[in-house]
Amino acid sequence: MTRPAIEQSKVTTTATSARSRSFGQDQGLSTVDRVGRWLSLRKLRAAVGPVAGRRVADVGCGYNADLAFHLFRRAEEIVLVDVAIDASLRSAPGVRVIEGHLPGSLATIESDSLDVVICNNVIEHLWEPELTLHELHRVLKPGGTCVLNVPTWRGKTFLELAAFRLHIAPATEMDDHKTYYDPRDLWPLLVAAGFTPSRITCRRHKFGLNTFAVCRK
C-alpha cells in the first residue's frame, strides 16, 4: 500500500511522559490487569467494530501489544505505538511499529490516515494529555473512530488498594499516574482536541472504575 506524504505535526516532539519502559516489558499481566482486560474487551470490540481492510492503531499498546492483536488481527495495517515494543513484532506482516514518547511519536503518522485508534489506560500517565488527544484527532480519517479507556477517581481508590496494600497490581504503574478522569474531566479535553460534542459518547463503565469514550471524527 502506498503511503501519503507525512504532514509535519504542529506538536513538539519533546517527551511529555517520563516513562522509559512500556507496560508488560518487565513482567506479565497481574490479576487486576487480567480482570480489567476481560471486563473491557467486549466493550472495546463493540466500539471498534469490523476491522477487515482497515488501518488501525493502538497508542500505548504495551510491550507485547496483546490487546491490539486481540482486536485487530484482521486489519489491513496495525500501527503500534509505545516507548518500547517487542522487536519481534517489527517483522509481523501488516504491522508498523513506532517507538517513542507521546505526543511526539505520533508525528510520523499521516494526517487523516487511520480508521480506528484505541488508547487504553494511557493518558492518565501523561502530564499534557491534551497534546496527545489532539494528535489522535489529527491522524483519524473523517468518519474514523477513537476509543479511550481511563481510570476514574473511584478507580483510583481500588487501584491503589490493589497495588499498595494488597500487592496484586504493579505499584510502579500506579506511581506513574498523573491524574484520573471522570466523564466530566475527560469530555472537555476531547472537545478541545477537535471532536464534536454530538459525536462523543463518554460514560463510566466497569462498576464506575473507568471512563470509556468513543469519539467519531
Task: Sketch the domain layout of the chain as residue ranges.
Answer: 31-216
Residue 46 in 3-state DSSP?
helix
> How far is Cα 105 from Cα 98, in angstroms, rounded to an integer?
7
Question: What is the grid cell recorded at 164?
Answer: 499498595
DSSP 9: P
**The domain defined by 31-216 carries CATH number 3.40.50.150:** yes
Strand 95-99: give its sheet, edge to edge: 95-99, 77-82, 55-59, 114-120, 140-151, 210-216, 200-205
pLDDT in tens, 113-157: 999 999 999 999 999 999 999 999 999 999 999 999 999 999 999
**What is the DSSP code string of 59-97?**
ET--SS-HHHHHHHTTBSEEEEEES---GGGGGSTTEEE
pLDDT in tens, 194-217: 999 999 999 999 999 999 999 999
> How far is Cα 171 from Cα 168, in angstroms, rounded to an integer?
9
pTM higher than 0.75, yes or no? yes
